[in-house]
Amino acid sequence: MSSNEQGKGKVWPAEWKVTKDLITGIPMRQLTNHLSHSFHLYFTNDGWYDNGNKLLFGSDRFNATNLYSMDLRSGEITQLTDYQEGPPANLQQTYINPKGYEAYFSKNNQIISINLQTFEEKVIYEAPKKYTLGNMSCTSDGEWLCTCVKEDLSDRIQTSLGAGYIGFEETARAKPHCKIVKIPVTGGESTVIHEEKVWIGHVNTSPTQPHLLSFCHEGPWDLVDHRIWCLNMETGDVWKIRPSEDNVFVGHEYWHADGITIGYHGYTESLSNKDGKFIGSVKYDNTNSQESAFPFQNMHIHSNNSSLIVGDGQQTSAYHGDQFQDTICLWKNSDGVLEGPRILCRHRGSFQAQKLHVHPRFSPDGSKVLFTSDMTGYGNLYLVDVPDFDSLPKQP
């Protein structure tokens, strides 16, 4: 397709190809193959829709960032938006309404809804002057969109958070005024449901409880007062998730599919955990806490429940060499004991920019792992079937 044929509603043939992972021999399907970066949604955002038959993703093809949909039965790709100039939309944070064929993303400090069948777009919210938009998520009843607006500090702090975390620590130390806002998905009057003078991020609604959302105090984990928080939108109550002791730092929180359990990973300087790293989960009321130590570095982890966890595991012991660096790994929870890691495949991602973070996550049914990697030089989407855990090789 030539550049003048691009546009909303255009369809491309399948680009996918299947190779075998060099470590495990497992078939690994590369879903996209274009001379540009393509990337799946942020790991907390479920990109599957139409009963799991379609997948949303972003791509920079034709020198513009747009939203696309892939039919996972045929591989056909449909362009959903047609942006060509100006600042790119924040498509990695696109969020699908769990009750219908609608999704939401931000561009130019506005939140835009898009009908995934007709491709019709509508502005449903605009951040106040001198504020910028954070991520967003939709309540499980499909009625409300929740986001955070942050005081704009660009006149004081130079930032490039999507490429190198420039200004990350400076923004956290500045403690910008932030407001969590609830917006009707149809548009209309918004409501501030929480505000404080601290950088708020990762506003994630529960996938089953429409009154619950988690959020974080953003910044380097060892710098913030406390990372993970929960908010009851009906009562306004706010409380800490996994209250931390000294020298214990957690983050990259996400909801399990049950909508009542929050997963995370972290590190500690505790003498009882010599390697200093752990994977954990806890219910939103801080009961049923589970944590397991492991000697591997992860940028992100994801799981649908506590039984099987995926992460972009990176070994930390130098004497192993680099053969097993940069791998997608699985951990299995057996009666509270975490087994693994087992190697699923090698990702070889560079993490050079936010859109090139590997961000592995399970499909809703847990049968596949989706991730982004620029192992070919360009960011592409990869999908791997999850085999029997015991059939996978152990990290050396």
pLDDT value of residue 218: 92
| Residue 333 and residue 230 in one domain | no
- Cα-based distances in Å from 269 to 177, 248, 297: 32, 7, 14
Residue 70 lies in a domain: no
* Domain final residue pick, 240, 267, 297: 240
Report the distance separating Cα 140 and Cα 388, nearest Å: 32
Look up residue 394 and give its DSSP letter.
B
pLDDT value of residue 29: 97
Q: Let me know: does 294 contact 338? Beta carbons within 8 Å.
A: yes
* Domain final residue pick, 240, 265, 288: 240
Q: What is the pLDDT along the chain (396 residues), one digit of tens a residue?
A: 333 467 899 999 999 999 999 899 999 999 999 999 999 999 999 999 999 999 999 999 999 999 999 999 999 999 999 999 777 899 999 999 999 899 999 999 999 999 999 999 999 999 999 999 999 999 999 999 999 999 999 888 776 666 666 778 888 898 999 999 999 999 999 999 999 999 999 999 999 999 999 999 998 888 899 999 999 999 999 999 998 777 888 889 999 999 999 999 988 875 454 468 889 999 999 999 999 887 677 788 999 999 999 998 664 443 344 555 689 999 998 887 888 889 999 998 888 888 889 999 999 999 999 999 999 999 999 999 999 999 999 877
Q: Let me know: does 317 contact 301? Beta carbons within 8 Å.
A: no
Q: Give the count of beta carbons closer than 10 Å to the beta carbon of residue 93.
A: 21
Report the distance separating Cα 230 and Cα 259, nearest Å: 12
Q: Give the count of beta carbons closer than 10 Å to the beta carbon of residue 184.
A: 14
Look up residue 273 and give its DSSP letter.
S
Report the distance separating Cα 62 and Cα 3, nearest Å: 6
Amino acid at position 269, single letter: E
| Residue 221 and residue 199 in one domain | yes
- Dihedral of the CA atoms 248, 219, 354, 160 (nearest 10)? -150
As for how many domains the chain has, the answer is 2
Q: Residue 44 — φ and ψ, nearest 5°?
A: -85, -10
| Residue 255 and residue 203 in one domain | no
| Residue 298 and residue 219 in one domain | no
| Residue 264 and residue 375 in one domain | yes
Residue 118 lies in a domain: no
- Cα angle 75-78-84, degrees, rounded to a multiple of 5: 135
Residue 162 lies in a domain: yes
Residue 322 lies in a domain: yes
| Residue 143 and residue 227 in one domain | yes
| Residue 151 and residue 201 in one domain | yes
Report the distance separating Cα 200 and Cα 280, nearest Å: 22
Report the distance separating Cα 295 and Cα 316, nearest Å: 7
Residue 89 lies in a domain: no
| Residue 294 and residue 233 in one domain | no
Residue 196 belongs to domain spanning: 127-240
| Residue 252 and residue 382 in one domain | yes
What is the reported pTM?
Answer: 0.93
Residue 318 lies in a domain: yes
**b/e 43-59 (16+ beta carbons within 10 angstroms → b):** bbbbbbbeeeebbbbbb
* Domain final residue pick, 240, 273, 301: 240
| Residue 380 and residue 255 in one domain | yes
| Residue 254 and residue 236 in one domain | no
* Tokens describing residue 41: 């949604």
Question: The domain that contains 340 carries what CATH number?
Answer: 2.130.10.10
Place of tokens 């919210």: 125
Residue 200 lies in a domain: yes
Report the distance separating Cα 390 and Cα 396, nearest Å: 15
Residue 92 lies in a domain: no
Return the half-sphere exposure (C-beta side, CA atoms, 13 A cut-off) of residue 298.
Answer: 32
| Residue 270 and residue 204 in one domain | no
- Cα-based distances in Å from 10 to 65, 78, 190, 203: 15, 6, 34, 33
Amino acid at position 164, single letter: G
Question: The domain that contains 142 carries what CATH number?
Answer: 2.120.10.30
- For the chain, how far is it from start to end, CA to CA, in angstroms? 46
